[in-house]
C-alpha cells in the first residue's frame, strides 16, 4: 500500500509540474460541456417558414399567423414573386405553406380544404419534426374554429421533463462523454510516457509489482478524474440549472465506478501502445466515437443494429448515461439503475486485468 501511494504521489507531482496539462485537464472537460451543452439541439426552433397565400382572406391570414404564434416558426423573407420551391432551393425557408385560393370558401362550406406544405427534406429527422409541427398547428387551428368539441381529445403530458428542456436530456449525456474521454486520455499519456522516455526501466529494475505500479498510477489519475467530474457537475448546475432529482448515492457511487472503468481503459491503451501520439489517437478515437454514438447519448440504444449493439455493451459511457439521466432527470434512484454501477465496475476490472496482463512480467519486450 505504501508503495502504491508513493507511486501515486510521484505521478501527481509530475502532473502538477506541467502547467499546460493541468490547464487542459480542467479546461477541456468544461469546454466539452459548453460546446455540447449549447450546440446540440435536437428539437427544431426558429424554422423559417414562407407562406404563399393565394386567397389573401382574413381566414387564410389568421391561419398563417397561427404558425408564427408558436416559437417554432419564423417568417422567411419572400417578396411573393416566382415559384415557392425556389425558396427551398435557396435555403431561405425550410418549409413553404401554400394556401389555395378557395381555402376559406371550402372551410365555410364544411368541406375538406387541402393546403400544401413543401418541407426541406435534406435532414430527414428535422423534416419529420417540421411535418409534425405543421400538423399540430393545423389541428390546433381547426379545434379553435369548430364550435363542437371533438369526441376524443388527447392530452399528453411529458413525464420527468415536463418543460421539454433539452438541457436535461443533453447535459447528463455530456457528463458521460467528458468522463469517458478526458481521464483515460491523461492516464494513457502518463503511462506511455514512461516507456517513451525509458524511465520505466528503473521501475522494472526495482521490485515494484505490476499491480502496485498500475494501481499507483491509476489512483493518481482517478483523483484527477474526480476533480474533473466535480468541475463539470458544478458547471452543469450553474449554466444549465441541473439539479439532483433524487437520491445522490447512485450518482456518487456510479461516478466512482465510471472513473475506475475510464482510468483502467486509459491504462489498457497506455500499456499496449509505445508512443504518445498513438495513445492519444487510440483513446480519442475509440473513446469519443463510442461515447458519442454507441452510448445512447444522441441515438437511442434500441436503434443500433445487431453487431454494433454488442459493442455498445462494453462502452462505459452507456451505463454512466443511465446513471446521470436518472440522477438529474428521472430520480428513481437505486431500484431503476442498480445494475449500471455494477457493470461499470466489471468493465473497469476487465480493462485493469488486460493492462496487468501486458505488464505483469515487468520486463522489456523482446
Partner 1 sequence: MTSLHPAESLQQTAPDAPAIVVQGLVKRYKQLAAVDGIDFAVRRGEVFGLIGPDGAGKTTTFQILAGVMEPTAGTASVLGRPPRDARLKIGYITQPFSLYLDLSVDENLRYSAELKQVDEALFEERRARYLKLVDLDRFADRLAGQLSGGMKQKLALCAALIPQPEILLLDEPTTGVDPVSRREFWDVLAALSEEQVTVVVATPYLDEAERCHRVALMYGGRLESPDTPARLRAGLGLARLEVHASDLERAEQVLQTLEAVEDVQTFGDRLDVLVADPERGERAVADALSGLSPQVGRADPTLENVFVTRLRQQGSDPPLLNFPHPLRRSAPAEAVAIGAHQLGKTFGSFRAVHDLSLEVHPGQIYGLLGANGAGKTTTIKMLCGLLPPSTGSVTLAGESDGLRSSELRRRLGYMSQKFTLYDDLSILQNLEFYCGVYSVPRRLRRERIDWVIDICGLRGQENLITGQLPGGWKQRVAFGASVMHQPEVLFLDEPTSGVDPLARRQFWRLIEMFARAGTAVLVTTHYLEEAEHCHRLGFMVAGELVIQGTPGEIKARQPGQIYEVVSADLPHAARALRSLFAQASWRVALFGDRLHVVLDEPDARLAKLQAVGHTRKIEYSLEDAFIGMVQRARQEGS
Grouping H, G, I as helix, E, B as strand and the rest as coil, residue 60 is helix
Task: Please check whether residue 95 is in contact with residue 137, taking contact to mean a CB–CB distance below 8 angstroms.
Answer: no
Using CB under 8 A, which of 55, 70, 84, 204 touches partner 1?
204
Instruction: Please tell me whether residue 14 binds partner 1 under the rule CB under 8 A.
Output: yes
**Only segment of 49-57, 180-188, 203-211, 248-256 that touches partner 1 (CB under 8 A):** 203-211
Residue 206 near partner 1 by CB under 8 A: yes
Residue 363 CB, nearest distance to partner 1 (Å)?
A: 5
- Is 23 one of the binding residues for partner 1 (CB under 8 A)? no
Cα angle: 191, vertex 198, 216; to 5 degrees: 35
Beta-sheet strands, E only, within 100-145: 116-119
Quote the cell numbers at residue 203.
521501475
8 Å CB contact between 259 and 226: yes
Q: Does residue 13 bind partner 1 (CB under 8 A)? A: yes
Residue 156 or 363 with smaller CB distance to partner 1: 363
Nearer to partner 1, 47 or 279 (CB): 279
Q: Are 362 and 208 in contact (CB under 8 A)?
A: yes
- Grid cell 411573393 is found at 80
Cell of 10: 510521484
Name which of 201 and 311 has its Cβ closer to partner 1: 201
Is 249 near partner 1 (CB under 8 A)?
no
Least separation in angstroms between residue 213's CB and partner 1 is 9
Q: Which of 45, 132, 136, 202 binds partner 1 (CB under 8 A)?
A: 202
Considering only CA atoms, which of 288, 278, 281 is closest in space to residue 192? 278
Nearer to partner 1, 307 or 366 (CB): 366
Q: Pick the closer one to partner 1 by CB: 143 or 199.
A: 199
Contact (CB, 8 A) for 74 and 65:
no
**For partner 1, how many residues bind (rule: CB under 8 A)?**
27
Among 116, 197, 281, 313, binds partner 1 (CB under 8 A): 197
Q: By CB under 8 A, tell whether 18 contacts partner 1.
A: yes
- Give 261-329 as a DSSP string: HHHHHHHHHHHH-SSHHHHHHHHHHHHHHHHHHSSSSSS-GGGS-HHHHHHHTT-HHHHHHHHHHIIII
* Planar angle of CA 166, 170, 173, nearest 5 degrees: 155
Find the binder of partner 1 among 42, 62, 86, 201 (CB under 8 A).
201
Place of cell 458519442: 292
What is d(CA 107, CA 113) in angstroms, rounded to the nearest whole number?
6
Is 364 an interacting residue with respect to partner 1 (CB under 8 A)? yes
Q: Does 155 bind partner 1 (CB under 8 A)?
A: no
The residue range among 98-106, 199-207, 286-294, 347-355 that interacts with partner 1, by the rule CB under 8 A, is 199-207
Task: List the one residue out of 165, 276, 185 whose CA is nearest residue 228.
Answer: 185
Give the one residue of 20, 149, 205, 238 binding partner 1; rule: CB under 8 A. Answer: 205
122 in contact with partner 1 (CB under 8 A): no
Q: Could you write out the DSSP letters of every residue in 203-223? A: HHTS---HHHHHHHHHHHHHH
By CB under 8 A, the residues from 254 to 283 that bind partner 1 are 275
Residue 19 binding partner 1, by CB under 8 A: no
Question: How many CB atoms sit inside 10 A of residue 331's CB?
Answer: 16
Nearer to partner 1, 104 or 273 (CB): 273
Q: What cell numbers appear for 73 in the block? A: 416558426
Among 69, 37, 291, 70, smallest CA distance to 165 is for 37
Pick the closer one to partner 1 by CB: 18 or 65. Answer: 18
Alpha-carbon distance of 106 to 243, in angstroms, equals 52
Question: Exactly one of 110, 198, 305, 307 binds partner 1 (CB under 8 A); which one?
Answer: 198
Among 30, 40, 208, 253, binds partner 1 (CB under 8 A): 208
Q: What is the nearest approach in angstroms of partner 1 to the Cβ of residue 3? A: 6
Ordered alpha helix ranges (H), 100-145: 103-108, 124-145
In the complex, which residues of this chain contact partner 1 (CB under 8 A)?
2-3, 6-7, 10, 13-14, 17-18, 197-208, 275, 361-364, 366
Amino acid at each position: 500500500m505504501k508503495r502504491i501511494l508513493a507511486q501515486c504521489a510521484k505521478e501527481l507531482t509530475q502532473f502538477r509540474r506541467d502547467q499546460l496539462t493541468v490547464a487542459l485537464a480542467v479546461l477541456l472537460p468544461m469546454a466539452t460541456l459548453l460546446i455540447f451543452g449549447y450546440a446540440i439541439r435536437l428539437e427544431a426552433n426558429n424554422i423559417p417558414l414562407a407562406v404563399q397565400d393565394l386567397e389573401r382572406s382574413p381566414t387564410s391570414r389568421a391561419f398563417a399567423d397561427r404558425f408564427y404564434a408558436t416559437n417554432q416558426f419564423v417568417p422567411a423573407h419572400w417578396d411573393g414573386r416566382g415559384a415557392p420551391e425556389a425558396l427551398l432551393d435557396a435555403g431561405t425557408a425550410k418549409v413553404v405553406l401554400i394556401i389555395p385560393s378557395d381555402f376559406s370558401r371550402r372551410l365555410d362550406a364544411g368541406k375538406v380544404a387541402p393546403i400544401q406544405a413543401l418541407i426541406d427534406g435534406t435532414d430527414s429527422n428535422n423534416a419529420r419534426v417540421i411535418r409534425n409541427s405543421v400538423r399540430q398547428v393545423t389541428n390546433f387551428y381547426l379545434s379553435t374554429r369548430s364550435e363542437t368539441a371533438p369526441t376524443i381529445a388527447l392530452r399528453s403530458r411529458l413525464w420527468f421533463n415536463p418543460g421539454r428542456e433539452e438541457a436535461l436530456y443533453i447535459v447528463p449525456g455530456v457528463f458521460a462523454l467528458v468522463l469517458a474521454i478526458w481521464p483515460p486520455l491523461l492516464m494513457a499519456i502518463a503511462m506511455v510516457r514512461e516507456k517513451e522516455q525509458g524511465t520505466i526501466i528503473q521501475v522494472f529494475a526495482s521490485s515494484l509489482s505490476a499491480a502496485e505500479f498500475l494501481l499507483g498510477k491509476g489512483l493518481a489519475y482517478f483523483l484527477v478524474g474526480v476533480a474533473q467530474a466535480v468541475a463539470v457537475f458544478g458547471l452543469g448546475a450553474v449554466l444549465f440549472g441541473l439539479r439532483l432529482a433524487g437520491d445522490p448515492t447512485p450518482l456518487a457511487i456510479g461516478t466512482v465506478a465510471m472513473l475506475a472503468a475510464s482510468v483502467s481503459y486509459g491504462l489498457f491503451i497506455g500499456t499496449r501502445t509505445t508512443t504518445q501520439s498513438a495513445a492519444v489517437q487510440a483513446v480519442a478515437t475509440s473513446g469519443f466515437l463510442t461515447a458519442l454514438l454507441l452510448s445512447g447519448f444522441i441515438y437511442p440504444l434500441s436503434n443500433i443494429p445487431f453487431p454494433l449493439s454488442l459493442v455498445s455493451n462494453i462502452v462505459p459511457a452507456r451505463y454512466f448515461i443511465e446513471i446521470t439521466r436518472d440522477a438529474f432527470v428521472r430520480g428513481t434512484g437505486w431500484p431503476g439503475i442498480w445494475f449500471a454501477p455494477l457493470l461499470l465496475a466489471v468493465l473497469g476490472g476487465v480493462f485493469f486485468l488486460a493492462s496487468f496482463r501486458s505488464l505483469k512480467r515487468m520486463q522489456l519486450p523482446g
